[in-house]
Amino acid sequence: MAILLIGNGINRQECLSEKWETVAQNVVARFGVDSKSVDAMSRSMTLGYEMLEHLILNNNPSVRTIDVLAAIGDEVESKSKLKADLSRTIHSKIMALPVEMVFTTKYDYSLERSVESDFKKKYMTKETTYSLKRYQIAGNKQIFHIHGEVGYPYSISLGFERYCGALEKLRASIVENVKIEKRFDHSDLESI
């Protein structure tokens, strides 16, 4: 079975996404934080998000982490939604390839909308935080948004805490599925 792994470069190629610095500036502005006080734009996305979230939450006690993640999702999705027809983009060419599954680090639904212009997220699992089992279906393909998706804002993985949580969940999932053939026997220690 052929599987593809796709990053956000295709959105950048098609001018469907902004740089992290622009997304960060727009999000802090949305929450009334002066973007000049945010050093997050010059940092890596992972560290920058941690700083951005901390600054927003400290300046707005009523704002929650999910509000910040939803705002980032809105920013990510907004530019790709402006392009009504994605059928002639690299996205549609990728979706036309003979593969059954696409794993993507992209948060938006531009791949899905390239084959279904009126795409609406589908509920494949009750998983809303991490992205181990949840997927979307479009063009007879399963699309796994491994870093989260805009339709489930709390699933968006940004920042070290989110990535570490996802890794721990993945590890636990693997460990649960491993069968131990032989139980540890203390008598084995005597031969050592």
**Residue 11 tokens, joined:** 């959105």
Can you state the angle between helices 20-30 and 65-82, rounded to 10 degrees? 120
**Residue 54 tokens, joined:** 């901390």
First to last CA, the chain: 45
Residue 68's pLDDT is: 93
Mean pLDDT, to the nearest integer, of 151-171? 82
Mean pLDDT, to the nearest integer, of 163-175? 80
Residue 192's pLDDT is: 45
CA–CA dist 156, 148 (Å, integer): 4
Residue 183's pLDDT is: 46
* Total Cβ atoms within 10 A of residue 77: 19
Q: Is the pTM of this model over 0.85?
A: no
**How far is CA 134 from each of CA 10, 80, 97, 140, 142, rounded to the nearest angstrom?**
22, 22, 22, 16, 10
Mean pLDDT, to the nearest integer, of 73-87? 81
User: What mean pLDDT value characterizes the chain?
Assistant: 81
Percent pLDDT > 90 in the chain is 27
Domain ranges in the chain are: 3-176
**Residue 111 tokens, joined:** 């791949």
